[in-house]
């Protein structure tokens, strides 16, 4: 059995976001890049499944659509424990193009289980997993918070409104995973870090895919309003502020 984990190269979650070119482009200057946190949890679970499988899962591969500057992030995935990696040498323009690029590669060398994070922490589109499953014509399960393999059967659970849904499926399928799939992402060991450069990182040339998205403008959220402290005795001032300043009463 082979597992493929889709990984996005995203800005560190503590990054201060800025835009350039009349707010039409994200300013990547000085950004520290990381594995998308949901993808990192997916990878952690995939590695656990391999370790628990007594050899039934023979390989964990990671795949990324990105230019050469995403390789440090891919190598981090290899250091954490992925066996090999595929980088599709294209700029990730939007969810459609990323899914189409990956589908092209996966069709030639199919996997039993494909895992993708529920969204990427930069654009939060939540689209790639579902689109990829459609391109590959395999079932997909979204919002997966646990995944266990018992022989040929796979048991999945999903968080749903007011409870949990347990599903069974057979391979091949695609799991769109969310928080809970693993508790913490795995920290790479020294040995893993040393091995990362020795593991195969195969670069695949992209196909022609049109981007279906045009970015008009980005807007930063309004800065949080400053908190004003009002003496509990001074109800008149509170009402005055709510009426004239906050304009909510």
User: Should residue 160 be labelled a site residue for other proteins when binding is judged by CB under 8 A?
Assistant: no
- Write down the least CB distance from residue 72 to other proteins, Å: 5
* Residue 239: C-alpha distances to residues 224, 227, 235, 245 (Å): 21, 15, 6, 10
| Helices 95-108 + 128-136 axis angle, to 10 | 40
User: Should residue 76 be labelled a site residue for other proteins when binding is judged by CB under 8 A?
Assistant: yes
- Write down the least CB distance from residue 123 to other proteins, Å: 23
CB closer to other proteins, 32 vs 244: 32
Between CA 68 and CA 233 the distance in angstroms is: 62
- Write down the least CB distance from residue 128 to other proteins, Å: 25
Interacting residues with other proteins between 15 and 54 (CB under 8 A): none
Token pair for 81: 């424990």
User: Should residue 184 be labelled a site residue for other proteins when binding is judged by CB under 8 A?
Assistant: yes
User: Should residue 194 be labelled a site residue for other proteins when binding is judged by CB under 8 A?
Assistant: yes
Token pair for 10: 């995203």
Q: Are 119 and 98 in contact (CB under 8 A)?
A: no
Between CA 7 and CA 175 the distance in angstroms is: 13
- The DSSP H or E segment spanning 237 is helix 235-240
* Residue 38: C-alpha distances to residues 20, 58, 240, 249 (Å): 27, 23, 46, 41
The SS3 of residue 155 is strand
- Write down the least CB distance from residue 40 to other proteins, Å: 11
Closest CA to 132 of 146, 115, 155: 115
Candidate segments 111-119, 126-134, 185-193, 199-207, binder of other proteins by CB under 8 A: 185-193
CB closer to other proteins, 31 vs 193: 193
Candidate segments 19-27, 70-78, 90-98, 232-240, binder of other proteins by CB under 8 A: 70-78
Between CA 148 and CA 40 the distance in angstroms is: 17
User: Should residue 79 be labelled a site residue for other proteins when binding is judged by CB under 8 A?
Assistant: yes
User: Should residue 191 be labelled a site residue for other proteins when binding is judged by CB under 8 A?
Assistant: yes
Between CA 84 and CA 59 the distance in angstroms is: 8
User: Should residue 203 be labelled a site residue for other proteins when binding is judged by CB under 8 A?
Assistant: no
- Write down the least CB distance from residue 21 to other proteins, Å: 28
In the set 68, 166, 190, 248, which binds other proteins (CB under 8 A)? 190
In the set 72, 110, 139, 200, which binds other proteins (CB under 8 A)? 72
- Write down the least CB distance from residue 194 to other proteins, Å: 6
Residues that bind other proteins (CB under 8 A): 72, 75-76, 79, 184, 187-191, 193-194, 196-197
């Amino acid at each position: 059995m082979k597992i493929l984990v889709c990984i996005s190269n995203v800005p560190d979650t503590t990054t201060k976001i800025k835009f350039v070119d009349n707010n039409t482009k994200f300013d990547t200057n000085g950004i520290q890049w990381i594995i998308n946190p949901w993808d990192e949890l997916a990878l952690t679970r995939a590695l656990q499944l391999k370790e628990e499988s007594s050899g039934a899962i023979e390989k964990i591969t990671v795949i990324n659509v990105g230019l050469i500057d995403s390789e440090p992030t891919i190598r981090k995935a290899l250091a954490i424990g992925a066996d090999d990696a595929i980088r599709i040498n294209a700029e990730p323009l939007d969810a459609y193009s990323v899914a189409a690029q990956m589908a092209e590669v996966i069709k030639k060398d199919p996997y039993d289980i494909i895992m993708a994070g529920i969204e990427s922490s930069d654009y939060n589109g939540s689209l790639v997993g579902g689109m990829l499953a459609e391109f590959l014509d395999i079932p997909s399960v979204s919002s997966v918070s646990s995944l266990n393999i018992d022989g040929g059967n796979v048991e999945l659970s999903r968080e749903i409104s007011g409870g949990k849904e347990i599903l069974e499926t057979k391979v091949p399928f695609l799991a769109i995973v969310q928080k809970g799939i693993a508790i913490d992402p795995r920290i790479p060991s020294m040995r893993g870090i040393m091995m990362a450069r020795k593991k195969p990182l195969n670069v695949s040339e992209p196909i022609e895919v049109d981007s279906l998205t045009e970015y008009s403008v980005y807007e930063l959220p309004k800065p949080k309003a400053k908190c004003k402290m009002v003496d509990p005795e001074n109800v008149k001032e509170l009402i005055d502020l709510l009426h004239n300043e906050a304009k909510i009463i």
